[in-house]
Each structure stands twice: as structure tokens, then as C-alpha cells.
Amino acid sequence: MVQGALDLIPSGNVRFTESYYLVTYNHGFIRRGLLGEGLRLLFGVPTRSEVDVTADLVVVLAIAAVVVTIELLIRRRTASSYAMAILLAASPFTIDFLIVDRRPDLLAVVLLVALGIVLVRVTNLLLPWLVAFGLAFGGMVLVHEDIVLIDIPWAMVLVAVATLGRNGVFVGGPRPGVARTVVGRVVVLVAPSVIATFAVLAYGLPTTQTVAELEHDVSSFHFTGNTVFTYLPNSIHAAVHLVGAIPAGAKLHTLLLGLVLITLQLGWIASWVRPRLWSPFVQRGNRALGTCLGAIIVIATVILFGTGFDWVRWFANCGAAWLIVQAFSPLSQRSGPGVGDTKRDEGSITAGGQPTELPVASTGRVHLSRWLPALAVYLAMVPPLDDLFITGQLRHFFFFV
């Protein structure tokens, strides 16, 4: 964090990132304009320093949310929570990426962490909280609509997992209404985002004249080259066409990079969704609901990668959302002094027919996974990944950098 703050070389594409904070509603409703409109109401046309301070504040809030999650995991004092805390701290998808990215949609990370904390600590009377978070996520769609494909699906999963509790044990309502309660809570959470998305698609795509007027409003910034204004008029169809229009000289290795990243992403989604999401629903006779939630994540990922070639950023953003959701799995477990993970008591069966989980006193020993060599290589790549991000997100793979 200190290195990122003191680095004399600007991280990422600074000018492009600055333009995100300058999109406003000065010439009518437009996508990605909510945060910029807030700055316009405060400062008129903000100066470069005011934009930079706002971007820094977004980064600080996102990093603080991750640090709070790490601290909560450490305080849980179990082997799984310690391991998750180390992974969150070391992963290039979290603090490293947040420092480099600086885009306003990072505020969705703050909402995701706050939602997880509420779901862990509040088991009853969740409706007012979900309404508040639903409105907040709906507002974030007006800041940047990519959260509909990145953070909203994982927020839905977080609500479903928290409703089921650990190992499919239902919490927060009457046992017979598992599917109904999960669906109700998810609908309350996502309804404002769905409405905001339709508003953006129907009314938020500006004309070229509106874009020219917006660029004229911030002519004091003297932008050169592409900025976010360039892409504001693009519909979903135009975004897909833009991916297909990558110059032939750069198309092969760029598409190969995207294919590798989406394959890895779908692989980790499949490995996580089946035991953590799909199986608990199947055990309770709600296979369709578990399948639906898993399909939403997969479909959102495919659409995300199909509508833009900023694949490294998609990969890191989705990785951050997944890691945050995964972090709240050990946080949802019972804990306390001397309490670690649990073991299965085959002689005692729960009402659902599953062996009882009993607390196991911590022995101070963590059994090493057979995947540890792969994890060691992954962590060894963190410094090179930092360099690649700082030099412009894999400049050798992206023709436009």
C-alpha cells in the first residue's frame, strides 16, 4: 500500500481512469454519470487534483474493506480463517489490483464486504438491510454498469449461502420455506439493480453530440487518445462487435489471453459452486434453485468477457468478488477461544440425516494441501503481476495501450 502511494510512476492508465469521474448528467441522463454528477454538484467542473483525491478515496475505502475482512478472519482464530486471511492479503486480485485500478466501480467491493458482515451478524429482520443494500447496489449500477455482471451475482450467492448457513442448515426463518426465503431475499437485493440496468439500456446511451458536449465541459483536462467518453455510446451489440474488430495483428494473442482467463475463471466457479452452493440446495430438495444461482454466475461471466477486451481487469475484478464471498464462509462458522474447525460425529445424526459437526480444539498444526506447490508458484508470481499491472495491464497483449 505504501509502495503504491509513493510510486512516482502513475499506476495504470491515469488519464482514462480520470475520465470516469467526469461523466455527468449535465446534458441529460447518461450511463456511468452518477458519481461524476456528485462531483459536479460539489465542485462544478472539478480540477485534476479533486478528481485524483476522489479516486484515491475510492481506493482507500476498497482497501479498508478488504483489510477489515482480513482482520475479522484473523479474529476468528481457526485454521481455515487464518489461511483465508493470508490468501486475501497475498492475492494480486485484492489490494494490489485495487491500488492500480482506481475506477469508481471499486465501491462495489465496499458494499459486498458490508453485506457479508451484516449477513454474518444478523440472522433475523434482514429485510430492511437487504432493501438498503439493494438501493445501494442499484445506485452503483448508475456509477458503472459492469457490477451487474461482476458483483451482483456474487452478492446473490452471498445471500443464498448466508440463508442456508453452514452445511445447508437453514437460518433466519422457518425451515419449510428455504427456497421461498432465498428467492425473496435475492429479489429484494437485486430488484433496484435490475431497474437501474433497464434504465441505463433504455435511456443511458448518449448520442455523439452529447458526448462531444461532455468532453467540451472538461476541455481543461486536455485529454488525448481514448477516454471513457469514447465508449459511452456503445450498446451491448457494439461492445461485442468491438471485440471482434480487434486488428488482425493483435487478435490472436489477445483472444488467446481472453480464452485462457475465462477458462480459468469458469474452472474456479465450477469447483466452488458445486460443493458450496449447488450441493446444499440439492440436499434440501431444491436442486433447481442451486442450479439457477450457479448458472447466473456462469452466464454473467461469459457476457462480461464477450462485451469487452479488458480481460485482465475482468479476471481480477471477478477474482476479488469471489475471494470476498469465500472469506465469509469461515466467518459464518461458530468460533471462540480454543475452538477451531469441526469434525464429523458419525454416531450422532441431525434431523436432516447428516452427521453432526463437533468443534475441534485447535492443535496449532495446519495440514498442508497437495496443492501447496501450485500456491507457492502463484504467490511467487505476485511481483511480476504487479509490474505487469503498473506498466499498463499486460501492454504486450493489448494493442490499444
Structural element, H or E, at residue 263? helix 248-273
The answer to whether the CB of 153 falls within 8 A of the CB of 105 is no
The string of DSSP codes covering 334-388 is --BTTB--EEEEEEEE-TTSPEEEEE----S--PPPTTHHHHHHHHHTHHHHHHH
For residues 66 and 101, give the distance between their C-alpha atoms in angstroms, rounded to a whole number. Answer: 15
Domain positions in the chain are 2-204+232-333+375-390
- CB count, 10 Å around CB of 318? 26
Q: Report the pLDDT value the prediction gives residue 7, as an integer from 0 to 100.
A: 54
- Global pTM value: 0.80
Q: Report the pLDDT value the prediction gives residue 198, as an integer from 0 to 100.
A: 95
For residues 328 and 80, give the distance between their C-alpha atoms in angstroms, rounded to a whole number. Answer: 11
Q: Report the pLDDT value the prediction gives residue 239, as an integer from 0 to 100.
A: 79
Q: Report the pLDDT value the prediction gives residue 118, as an integer from 0 to 100.
A: 93
Angle (nearest 5°) at CA 91 between 85 and 97: 125
Q: What is the pLDDT along the chain (401 residues), one digit of tens a residue?
A: 555 555 554 455 578 889 999 999 999 999 999 999 999 999 999 999 999 999 999 999 999 999 999 999 998 888 888 888 888 888 878 888 888 888 999 999 999 999 999 998 887 788 999 999 999 999 999 999 999 999 999 999 999 888 876 544 444 444 556 778 889 999 999 999 999 999 999 999 999 999 999 999 999 988 887 889 988 998 887 877 776 676 666 666 677 777 887 888 888 788 777 777 777 777 777 788 888 888 899 999 888 888 876 777 888 888 889 889 888 877 876 544 434 444 444 443 344 444 444 444 444 444 555 655 665 565 555 544 544 444 344 333 333 33
Q: How large is the C-alpha radius of gyration of the chain?
A: 22
**171-225: per-residue pLDDT in tens?**
444 455 677 888 999 999 999 999 999 999 999 999 999 999 999 999 998 888 7
Q: Report the pLDDT value the prediction gives residue 381, as an integer from 0 to 100.
A: 56
Q: Report the pLDDT value the prediction gives residue 195, as an integer from 0 to 100.
A: 96
Q: Report the pLDDT value the prediction gives residue 250, as an integer from 0 to 100.
A: 62
41: helix, coil or strand?
Answer: helix
Q: Report the pLDDT value the prediction gives residue 246, as an integer from 0 to 100.
A: 67
For residues 323 and 272, give the distance between their C-alpha atoms in angstroms, rounded to a whole number. Answer: 11
